[in-house]
Structure 1
Amino acid sequence: MNSLITFIFFLLPILSSLLIAQASNPLSTYQPLHVIDGAALYKKQLTNGNEAYLQVIDLRKMHIDQLVGEVDNMGLSQGKYYKGEGGHYSPFFQTKLFSEVSEEYKKLYSSDIFSIINCSFFEQYQSSTQLSFPIKLNGVVISGGNSPYGPVRQPKDNFYSTVRLKALVWDDKQAYITDYNPVTGAPLNQKGVKNAIATYKYSDHPAKVLAQNQANKYQVIGTLNKDGIKGDELLLIMTVNSATLDQAAGLLRKLGVKGDIITVDGGRSTYLFNSQRGDIIAPQLSTPLENPTFRHLPHYLGFRRKSKKQVSPQILVNQPIGKVVLEKDQPYLILWRDNFDSDVAIKLYDSEKLVQNISDRTASDGIYEWTPRIPLKKGYSVRISQKDGKIFGQLQLQ
Structure 2
Amino acid sequence: MKVVFHLFLFLLPILSSFWIAQTCNSLSSYQPLQSIDGAALYKKELTNGNEAYLQVINLGKMHIDQIIGEVDNMGLNEGKYYQGEGKYYSPFFQRKLFSKVVNEYKELYANNVFSMINCSFFEQYKSSTQLSFPIKLNGVVISGGTSPYGPIKEPKDKYYSNIRLKALVWDNKQAYITDYNQVSGAPLNQNAVKNAIVTYRYSDHPAKVLAQNQANKYQLIGTLDKDGVKGDELLLIMTVKQATLDEAADLLRKLGVKGDIITVDGGTSTYLFNSQNGNIIVPQQSSLQENPTFRNLPHYLGFRKKTKNQVTPKISISQPVAKVLPKKDQPYLILWRDNFDGDVSIKLYDGDKLIQNISSRTASDGVYEWTPHISVKEGYFIRISSWKDRNIFGQLQL
Q: Same fold (TM over 0.5)?
A: yes
Alignment of 1:154-233 (within 5 A): 154-233=154-233
Matched, 1:103 2:103: yes
**Range with greater deviation from structure 2 (78-87 or 287-296):** 287-296
- The corresponding residue for 1:393 is 394
SS of corresponding position for 1:253: helix
For 2:94 and 2:25, the matched residues in 1 are separated by 43
Contact 2:285-2:292 at 8 Å conserved across structures = no
Query: In the TM superposition, what whole-angstrom CA distance separates every residue of 1:18-69 from its partner, at most 9, and x where no partner exists?
Result: xxx99x9400000000011100000000123200000000000000000000
Superposed CA deviations along residues 215-271 of structure 1, whole A, max 9, x for unmatched, are 000000000001111100000000000000000000000000000000000000000
Q: Which sits farther off after the overlay, 91-100 or 317-326? A: 317-326
CA distance in 1, matches of 2:292, 2:192: 38
> Aligned partner of 1:206: which letter?
P
* 1:3 equivalent in structure 2: none
Contact 1:324–1:396 (8 Å) recurs in 2: no
Q: Within 2, Cα distance between the matches of 1:309 and 1:142?
A: 27
Q: Cα offset for 1:287?
A: 2.6
Q: Quick one: which amino acid aligns to residue 327 of structure 1?
A: K
2:357 corresponds to 1:365: no
**In the alignment, which residue of structure 2 is the partner of 1:285?**
285
CA distance in structure 1 between the partners assigned to 2:319 and 2:267 by the alignment: 28
Task: Describe the shift of the 1:155–1:25 C-alpha distance in structure 2 as closer, same or farther (beyond 3 A).
Answer: closer
CA distance in 2 between counterparts of 1:134 and 1:289 reads 29
Mark the CA change 1:123 to 1:25 in structure 2 (over 3 Å): closer, same or farther.
closer
User: Aligned-pair distance for 1:292?
Assistant: 3.5
Deviation of the 1:391 alpha carbon: 1.0
Tell me the equivalent position of 2:297.
297
Determine the C-alpha separation between the residues in 1 that align with 2:309 and 2:146. 40
Q: Distance in 1 between matches of 2:243 and 2:212?
A: 13
Q: RMSD of the alignment, in Å?
A: 1.3
Partner of 2:9: none
Q: Deviations over 1:117-165 (max 9, x none)?
A: 0000001011110000000000000000000000000000000010100
- Segments of 5+ residues of structure 1 without an aligned counterpart are 1-20
Please say if 1:326 is aligned against 2:326. Answer: yes
Structure 1 segments (4+ residues) deviating >4 Å: none
Alignment of 1:1-398 (within 5 A): 25-287=25-287, 289-387=289-387, 388-397=389-398
Deviation at 1:323, TM superposition (A): 2.0
Report the TM-score, using the length of structure 2 for normalisation.
Answer: 0.93
Cα offset for 1:290? 4.6
- 2:253, 2:243 → 1: CA distance? 15
Does the CA contact (< 8 Å) of 2:25 and 2:254 recur in 1?
A: no
**Which residue type is aligned with residue 363 of structure 1?**
A
Report the number of matched residues: 376
8 Å Cα contact 1:169-1:193 kept in structure 2: yes
Q: Is the 8 A contact 1:72 1:325 kept in 2?
A: no
Deviation at 1:311? 2.3
The one-letter code of the counterpart of 2:49 is: G
Q: Which runs of 5+ in 2 are unaligned?
A: 1-20
Matches of 1:297 and 1:373, distance apart in 2: 33
- Answer yes or no: is the 8 Å Cα contact 1:138–1:367 preserved in 2: yes
Letter matched to residue 252 of structure 1: L
Contact persistence 2:175–2:223 (CA under 8 A): yes
Give the deviation of 1:285 after TM superposition.
1.2
Partners of 2:33 and 2:332 in 1: CA distance: 42
What is aligned with 1:11?
A: none
User: How big is the shift at 1:325?
Assistant: 2.0
TM-score between both structures, scaled by the size of structure 1: 0.93
Q: Which letter does structure 1 place at the counterpart of 2:326?
A: L
**Is this contact kept in 1: 2:309–2:339, CA < 8 A?**
no
User: C-alpha separation between the residues in 1 aligned to 2:49 and 2:360?
Assistant: 57
State the identity %. Answer: 77
Letter of the structure 2 residue corresponding to residue 268 of structure 1 = T
Contact 2:25 2:256 in 1 (8 A): no
Task: Measure the CA separation in 1 of the matches of 2:137 and 2:116.
Answer: 17
AA matched with 1:394: Q
Whole-angstrom CA distance in 2 between matches of 1:330 and 1:295: 32
Asked if structure 1 preserves the Cα contact closer than 8 Å seen for 2:133 and 2:147, the reply is yes
Aligned AA for 1:312? Answer: T
Q: How many angstroms apart in 2 are the aligned matches of 1:106 and 1:25?
A: 32
